[in-house]
């Protein structure tokens, strides 16, 4: 929660709940499994022993600025997604008219 991808995942799960609870449960398990996998990957890649004795330099100011802009954007999208949702509302409304949700239920 609080990052940009959480909003998208939550909206997809919320929308799929209206169609099928089973699909939502399976998708939720997939989200949890992928989160666990990603955290294990980061832990092993960045917090394990340095067996190669590589000397990695610190970020220079330009790289730090680029990283800060990306972090601010990711946090901004996660904490306040409404401007993006408003911008995409017209396209999503047109799509929903073409494919009503009732046609997805069986």
| DSSP label of 49 | -
Question: What's the confidence (pLDDT) of residue 7?
Answer: 77
- State residue 52 phi and psi, 5-degree precision: -100, -5
Of 2, 3, 4, 6, the residue nearest 32 (C-alpha) = 6
Q: How far is it, in rounded angstroms, from Cα 74 to Cα 70?
A: 6
Higher pLDDT, 28 or 49: 28
* For the chain, domain boundaries: 4-104
Of 86, 81, 82, the residue nearest 2 (C-alpha) = 81
User: Tens digits of per-residue pLDDT, 63-73?
Assistant: 999 999 999 98
User: What percent of the chain is predicted at pLDDT more than 90?
Assistant: 26
Higher pLDDT, 101 or 68: 68
To the nearest whole number, what is the mean pLDDT of the chain? 83
User: Tens digits of per-residue pLDDT, 68-94?
Assistant: 999 998 888 888 888 888 888 888 777
| DSSP label of 80 | -
């Amino acid at each position: 929660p609080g990052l940009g991808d959480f909003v998208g995942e939550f909206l997809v799960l919320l929308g799929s709940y209206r169609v099928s609870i089973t699909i939502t449960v399976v998708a939720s398990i997939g989200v949890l499994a992928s989160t666990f996998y990603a955290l294990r990957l980061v832990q092993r890649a960045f917090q394990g022993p340095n067996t190669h004795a590589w000397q990695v330099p610190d970020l220079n100011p330009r790289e730090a600025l680029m990283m800060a802009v990306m972090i601010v954007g990711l946090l901004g999208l996660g904490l306040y997604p409404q401007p993006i949702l408003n911008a995409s509302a017209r396209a999503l409304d047109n799509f929903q008219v073409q494919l009503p949700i009732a046609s997805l239920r069986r």
